[in-house]
Amino acid sequence: MRVRFIKAPDTHALRLLVLRPGGTLEDVDFANDRLAGGFHLGVHIGEHRIAIASFYPEAHKELMGWKQYRLRGMATHPDFTGQGAGTSLLRFALEHLKAQHADLLWCNAREKAVGFYEGTGLVVHGERFDIPGIGGHYVMYRRLRR
């Protein structure tokens, strides 16, 4: 498995398959994809992209941090879940964010992904909330130290 920087459109196929099944390209073309300072990662086996995630310089109003990044649109192809692709991707991202002097990573985690994120060092902040059409989520975060 190899983690690489990719372009936003390279995330669309897995976002559609995993995060918005039955959706449209418009559903997975996030406005933040074009933010300066944002980046996208893909995990590859050979030329096959098996996991993706996007990271944006975006502060969460309830969390303290002078240089925060948001994780959004993380997805692993169903045929490759549980094989370490997501963990490898997050490890790579955390090292990159630390090198960029970021001090906090946060996300809106789907209920079913909370255990995965906890295993990579993120913690829950606040109560469960619903995103219409998608379901229950929790804000999760991890402080980054050099």
| pTM (predicted TM-score) | 0.94
Do 110 and 136 form a contact (C-beta atoms < 8 A)?
A: yes
Query: For 61-80, how does the pLDDT look when each residue is reduced to its tens digit (9 = 90+)?
Result: 999 999 999 999 999 999 99
Q: Which domains does the chain have, with CATH numbers?
A: 2-143 (3.40.630.30)
Say if residue 62 is exposed, middle or buried (CB neighbours under 10 Å; 0-12, 13-18, 19+).
Answer: exposed
**Model confidence at 133, in pLDDT bands (50, 70, 90)?**
confident
User: Average pLDDT, stretch 13-37?
Assistant: 92
Can you tell me the distance from the alpha carbon of 142 to that of 118, in angstroms, rounded to the nearest whole number? 9
Query: For 96-131, how does the pLDDT look when each residue is reduced to its tens digit (9 = 90+)?
Result: 999 999 999 999 999 999 999 999 999 999 999 999
